Amino acid sequence: MSFLEYAPAPESQAILNLRSEYGLFIDGEFREGHGTPFASISPATEKHIATISTADAADVDAAVAAARRAYDRTWSRMSGADRGKYLFRIARLVQERSRELAVAESLDNGKPIKESRDVDVPLVAAWFFYYAGWADKLDHAGLGANPASLGVAAQVIPWNFPLLMLAWKIAPALAAGNTVVLKPAETTSLTALLFAEIVQQADLPPGVVNIITGAGATGVALVGHDDVNAVAFTGSTPVGRAIAKSVAGTNKKVTLELGGKAANIVFDDAPIDQAIEGIVNGIFFNQGHVCCAGSRLLVQESIHGEVVDRLKARLSTLRLGDPLDKNTDIGAINSSAQLDRIRALSDIGEAEGAERWTAECTIPENGFWFAPTIFTNVSTSHRIAQEEVFGPVLSVLTFRTPAEAIAKANNTPFGLSAGIWSDKGSRILAVADKLRAGVIWANTFNRFDPASPFGGYKESGYGREGGRHGIASYLTSGTPARPAVAAAVTKPKTVTKGATK
Amino acid sequence: MTGTQIVPGERAIALLGGEANDANLRRYLHGIPGVDAVGLEQRAAGLGTRSIKTTSKAWALDRIIGLIDLTTLEGADTPGKVRSLVAKAVTPDPADPGCPRVAAVCVYGDMVGHAVQALGSAHGDPDQGKIAVAAVATAFPSGRASRSIKLEDTADAVAAGADEIDMVIDRGAFLAGRYGQVYDEIIAVKEACRRADGTSAHLKIILETGELNTYDNVRRASWLGILAGGDFIKTSTGKVAPAATLPVTLLMLEVVRDWHRLSGEKVGVKPAGGIRASKDAIKYLVTVAETVGEEWLTPHLFRFGASSLLNDVLMQRQKMTTGHYAGPDYVTID
């Protein structure tokens, strides 16, 4: 037998206790939505997982009203230390239920269990722990003493890291004293609904966190709602642009974290084996469904051949298949629509004259799959070098000098992230200084930490999430857009300004 | 600069573009791309998360036994102790005749004769299901002796019937940058491995990675050992902490892979010291298979230098057949 054909090692689904139907989570309880329910399927098998409610305009109204009530009556008047206690409790519950959450995420999203288990869920807990610590230290958020919360935050998140994006949005918003209405992506509502159960378990006051499900129309109604004070969106640039237009002229504070086309720059003195790992992790992590993915590989011309050879050898060892198998490296593409887009852009790459290479792997019969693919002979004018593919597709370009590397790396409408590989520290600093990207990794890629701000330049959006900047996004040094009604008796420090107006 | 007279090795000349002296070796070894420690350790940790179950686990456990150099390297070693070790090597699990034998026994030079005698007809090539005798030599473990003593030590063990010689490099010379001296010594020891009939004992080169300290050093020492003609590169003596680690072994496997790509030659790797649990040993198998390929999982290309590992593997094997763990009293000690 072949040892490398590891025997199946599937993570058990027995730990999951899913309901067949999920309603909307409003004011601390689940209720049916008024829109037409839709099915959530597993992208790996196309099997039905659960039926999910759709929130219509009336449901959005109800959710925002619940958030407003909770903001006015409890959350904005609670001390930061007490808000922190709730967040710590949520963080611990996430850890306690981590296996269950990981299995649900892999089932619903298609990402390998080793990623949901080792990356997504631990980071979710880390985000809540981190911002729990901020809740009573808002004076140090950089906005002066007694910054005020904003009010009700409308949050719309994407399908690539469903639970992690939820944590990125909810944790800082709650720590700062806001209440939230969050809409997960249509194809990946499941873990947000499990999170709603955690919110109940944590005994969070009703209405502080509301989760409504549905497609684009639900998101439009939420973002456009008059009684919303802050809008946070992570997703595609076209949708982000539409949101920016819809909130223009209102008082809503907006953060947008949009697309990317990151350059991963490999100099000829790079630690080569680790650079190969970093390239693989940069673009094939989470099937390339990562806004900050290193989708443009810029290799110094003198080592181009060697890097491509090593890369192909390494890609040939990746295992594509059942996301719940603990040895799977590449899971399923999240939806058939996304698969169509990846295929279309790859075909265009070939038509434009780039050389296509695909790792040999068996594609399962059902579900949505795309084998790891690299394009060589790519020029900056090719569409696959310009547009975000959002899939396991890498474009390889070359450069001759650091100046050329910088120019090519910046030659994109995006500016979310970039990577630099070199053994020479001074070169890393000099190049990083000239790259227009929000996050720059040196000799690593796709590493996240709650203490580090994350966000983009140009069409990659504005505002920062994570770190002190992330909490500042949910605070104002002035009075909140709609102050809390009653004067605070128990002197909740963080809302003094709003409350005493 | 030592002014050492370098004996040119076949492997090195073409690659270095000149004789293997300090300057050429330095230019070559320092021109190899560096190692990023964080990235290397991350990759090793990633390989360590592979989940090896059921049939794969059963295969892995048997293969681990077949790759072990069962070792006793104590000042207190006696012929009796060596005979006991050999008996364990031949029959690891008396309750299960289907249990594979280990690859070799590894002893000090003066114990080689006793090991050969005790093995009797079981002595031979591990690729043929027999058990080889490996001897540590060259003033093991420190290597602090004159060249003539080291060569004598080696020749002695070979004459007594050793099939494999585990030599230590001169870490002092390596750290002082006298690569030519280290290279030279390996060539000379390799020569001392030659038997009267013209065949040669296999040479394993112990880098003692715990003393080299940096991954860059380990990578350079690995190249040096391969260029000088080592059949195997081995992590440690087991007398210095840290001994074998997964990142260090991964790094050495990467060098072996690159050398194979460059020359077509296959060099073996032997992590030694500190591998005690089956679970850890399986991580090494995964790392070998996913780095150089599973054809490396044979006794002439991969070994574990270990003593207590064997019994843990035997307990795991018993668990796979009976479904429950037996205590340590259900496996024999050597």
Tens of pLDDT, residue by residue, chain A (501 residues): 699 999 999 999 999 999 999 999 999 999 999 999 999 999 999 999 999 999 999 999 999 999 999 999 999 999 999 999 999 999 999 999 999 999 999 999 999 999 999 999 999 999 999 999 999 999 999 999 999 999 999 999 999 999 999 999 999 999 999 999 999 999 999 999 999 999 999 999 999 999 999 999 999 999 999 999 999 999 999 999 999 999 999 999 999 999 999 999 999 999 999 999 999 999 999 999 999 999 999 999 999 999 999 999 999 999 999 999 999 999 999 999 999 999 999 999 999 999 999 999 999 999 999 999 999 999 999 999 999 999 999 999 999 999 999 999 999 999 999 999 999 999 999 999 999 999 999 999 999 999 999 999 999 999 999 999 999 999 999 776 554 444 344 444 444 433 333
What sign results for the dihedral spanned by CA atoms A232, A237, A240, A241? positive
A1 contacts B59? CB cut-off 8 A: yes
Reported CATH class of domain A263-442: alpha beta
Q: Is residue B206 classed as helix, strand or coil in its secondary structure?
A: strand
pLDDT computed for residue B59 by the predictor? 97
CA A310 to chain centre: 30
B285 contacts in chain A (CB < 8 Å):
3
All residues at 6 or more sequence positions from B164 whose CB lies less than 8 Å from its CB, including other chains? B104, B132, B133, B134, B135, B201, B202, B203, B204
d(CA B157, CA B302): 22
A277 contacts B42? CB cut-off 8 A: yes
B294 contacts A3? CB cut-off 8 A: yes
Q: How many CB pairs under 8 A join A and B?
A: 72
- Taking the Cβ of residue A479 and every Cβ of chain B, the question of whether any pair is shorter than 8 Å is answered with no
Q: Phi, psi (5° rounding) for residue B239?
A: -100, -5
Question: Using CB atoms, which residue from A3, A275, A317 is nearest to B56?
Answer: A3
Q: Is residue A47 classed as helix, strand or coil in its secondary structure?
A: coil
A277 contacts B50? CB cut-off 8 A: no
Give, rounded to a whole angstrom, the gap between the first and last alpha carbons of chain A.
76
Contact B100, B297 (CB under 8 A): no
Chain B residues bordering chain A (beta-carbon distance below 8 Å): 33-36, 38-40, 42-43, 49-57, 59-60, 63, 254, 285, 289-290, 294, 297
β-pair partners for A376: A355
d(CA A373, CA A393): 5
B55 contacts A272? CB cut-off 8 A: no
B53 contacts A9? CB cut-off 8 A: yes
- Helix (H) or strand (E) holding B115, with range, is helix B112-119
- Taking the Cβ of residue A277 and every Cβ of chain B, the question of whether any pair is shorter than 8 Å is answered with yes
B59 contacts A271? CB cut-off 8 A: no
- Taking the Cβ of residue A426 and every Cβ of chain B, the question of whether any pair is shorter than 8 Å is answered with no
Q: Is residue A325 classed as helix, strand or coil in its secondary structure?
A: strand
A2 contacts B33? CB cut-off 8 A: no
A444 contacts B39? CB cut-off 8 A: yes
Catalytic residue IDs of A:
257, 291
Instruction: Please report where in the chains the tokens 């949009």 appear, as a residue.
Output: A258
pLDDT tens digit string along B149-162? 999 999 999 999 99
Give how far A277 is from chain B: nearest CA, Å: 7
Question: Complex ipTM above 0.90?
Answer: yes
B59 contacts in chain A (CB < 8 Å):
1, 3
Q: Is residue B31 classed as helix, strand or coil in its secondary structure?
A: coil
How many CA atoms lie within 13 Å of B118's alpha carbon, on the beta-carbon side?
A: 25
- Taking the Cβ of residue A500 and every Cβ of chain B, the question of whether any pair is shorter than 8 Å is answered with no
- Taking the Cβ of residue A21 and every Cβ of chain B, the question of whether any pair is shorter than 8 Å is answered with no
Domain boundaries, chain A: 21-258+460-477, 263-442
Q: What is the CA angle B21-B24-B25, rounded to 5? A: 80
Q: For B41, name the nearest residue in chain A, comparing CA atoms only.
A: A274
Q: What is the pTM of this model?
A: 0.94
How many Cβ atoms are within 10 Å of A500's Cβ, its own excluded?
A: 13
pLDDT tens digit string along B191-231? 999 999 999 999 999 999 999 999 999 999 999 999 999 99
- Taking the Cβ of residue A363 and every Cβ of chain B, the question of whether any pair is shorter than 8 Å is answered with no
Torsion angle of the four alpha carbons A271, A272, A274, A277, in this order, in degrees rounded to the nearest 10 = 160
d(CA A229, CA A220): 15
Token pair listed for B167:
């030599």
Interface probe for B, chosen from A5, A274, A329 (most Cβ of B below 10 Å), is A274
Torsion angle of the four alpha carbons A221, A223, A229, A232, in this order, in degrees rounded to the nearest 10 = 150
Instruction: Please report where in the chains the tokens 């904005």 appear, as a residue.
Output: A76
Question: Using CB atoms, which residue from B33, B55, B56 is nearest to A272?
Answer: B33
Find the length of chain A: 501
B51 contacts A273? CB cut-off 8 A: no
- Helix (H) or strand (E) holding B313, with range, is helix B309-322
Q: Is residue A234 classed as helix, strand or coil in its secondary structure?
A: strand
d(CA A158, CA B219): 43
Alpha-carbon separation of residue B150 from A458, B8, B138, B208 (angstroms): 67, 20, 4, 17
Contact A441, A417 (CB under 8 A): yes
What's the topology of domain A21-258+460-477?
A: Aldehyde Dehydrogenase; Chain A, domain 1 (3.40.605)
Catalytic residue IDs of B:
166, 234, 270
- Taking the Cβ of residue A12 and every Cβ of chain B, the question of whether any pair is shorter than 8 Å is answered with no
B63 contacts in chain A (CB < 8 Å):
3
Helices (H) and strands (E) in chain B, counts: 14, 8
d(CA A401, CA B321): 61
Instruction: Please report where in the chains the tokens 């982000």 appear, as a residue.
Output: A240
B290 contacts in chain A (CB < 8 Å):
4, 317
A9 contacts in chain B (CB < 8 Å):
51-53
